Amino acid sequence: MKLEHLAIIGADPISVSIALKLKEISSGKGKVRGVHITGYDADSRAADLARAYGAFDRVERRPGPACRDADLVIISVPLAAMRDTFAAIAASLRPGSLVTDTARLKTPVMRWASELLPDGVYFIGGHPIINPAVLGAEPLDSGRGGVQPEKADAGLLKGALYCLTPADNTPAQVIDFFSALALELEAYPYFIDTTEHDGLQVGVEALPDLLAVALLRATVETPGWQEMRKFAGYSFAAATAAAASPEREARERHTAILLNREHIVQRLNILVHELLLLRDMLAQGETGALEGMLAAAVEGRAHWIADRMQGMWGREGYTGMDQVPSAGDQLRHLFFGEALSRRKREG
């Protein structure tokens, strides 16, 4: 399948970066030669800015018309607006067109797509995870509000892990297209089950948010806070920073928490267990065991920070295609499980 007409719904740094990269390579050979990009954003200023940067050829003021005749639609809107966006564009999608998203949560998105998108339209969930070496320490949303397409860059997805969650009845050629598209963006296609994806997200996004809320409730909302606040410094500010996200980002994170409750409860149970373990060690004066736990935690964080600064996804080093399972291996594991996949490979 050739990509000639692309529609982008939501002009944020990720989607605009994808558009800029496709424009950059559209003069060459391949699936994106001469691509025409139509953009839409609920904030018309963001869409106009993306067009001024050269990411969009045309801007529409409604999502439906932006998708008309599109070969591929990329939806990059907040989770709270995702379901309504599917409903708004459904009637404008032509048979055979492809749709994907960039949301950080996949299970509800896949469910909404199945409910609302018409037959003959193929949806694969997407979640680009930016390589830390490319992104650096500053988040894409720096707190100034809005979707900030000015943070977009054609090289933003270089080395990114591009998570893809196809339904089990997705045609092979559609899977091949999305895999090739990720490679065109210089990202690594990574096929993953929606449940596994959302479970992994909990530990690094929802859990810090809820831990910050619990810490604030245990301090700011207690009778001793008026005196305690005089001692609060950088450590307290850093530990509670997750509760102080910009309004747009906070709404997105809160929506993700509500939509991913089952996984979050499981991870909270683990956290509660660890807190009770620390409490018991302190109460019983188990100095050696406590010092061991603290040292292990410090070492684990130091390794993570070092890996992140070098753009590493794990201890094995910088992520390359030789370290990402092949699309075939990923899909066998995704649809058949590890045991059956191994038997298929051996067969």
For residue 227 the two structure tokens come to: 């005196």
Q: Residue 217: exposed, middle, or buried by beta-carbon count in 10 A (0-12, 13-18, 19+)?
A: exposed
Q: Give the span between the Cα atoms of 240 and 212, in whole angstroms.
A: 5
CA-wise closest residue to 77 among 66, 68, 69: 66
Contact 109, 82 (CB under 8 A): yes
- The C-alpha angle 148, 6, 16, rounded to 5 degrees, equals 15
Q: What is the DSSP track for 228-242?
A: HTTT--HHHHHHTGG
Q: Give the span between the Cα atoms of 163 and 204, in whole angstroms.
A: 16
pLDDT tens figures, 300-342: 999 888 877 776 554 444 444 444 555 556 555 555 455 444 4
pLDDT tens figures, 290-306: 999 999 999 999 988 88
Helix (H) or strand (E) holding 8: strand 5-9
Question: What is the Rg, in whole angstroms, of the alpha carbon atoms belonging to the chain?
Answer: 22
pLDDT tens figures, 124-183: 999 999 988 776 655 555 333 445 666 789 999 998 999 999 998 899 999 999 999 999
Domains located in the chain, CATH noted? 5-192 (3.40.50.720), 197-284 (no CATH), 317-346 (no CATH)
Contact 19, 7 (CB under 8 A): no
